[in-house]
Amino acid sequence: MEELTYNAKEVMTMLKCSRATAYRTIDKINGIHCKKNKLNEKAMIRGKVSKKVFHEYYPSN
């Protein structure tokens, strides 16, 4: 079964950035998504981002 999320290592590879930048990017995307959909940010898994949400912000990857 295919995973529904990307981890920091996968984001790092796709964006060609450092691990710290990948984690910051994931936190930023999750934070924006939570505010937009009125979700509790603590419910999000740290270090992972939904593939669907990631591709909304980075459609070319």
pTM of the model: 0.88
Structural domain boundaries enclosing 41: 5-57
Which residues contact residue 57 at a Cβ distance below 8 angstroms, ignoring those fewer than 6 apart? 29, 32
Contact 44/36 with Cβ under 8 angstroms?
A: no
Number of domains present in the structure of the chain: 1
Contact 26/32 with Cβ under 8 angstroms?
A: no
Which residues contact residue 25 at a Cβ distance below 8 angstroms, ignoring those fewer than 6 apart? 11, 15, 17
pLDDT per residue over 1-52, tens digit each? 689 999 999 999 999 999 999 999 999 999 999 999 888 877 788 899 999 9
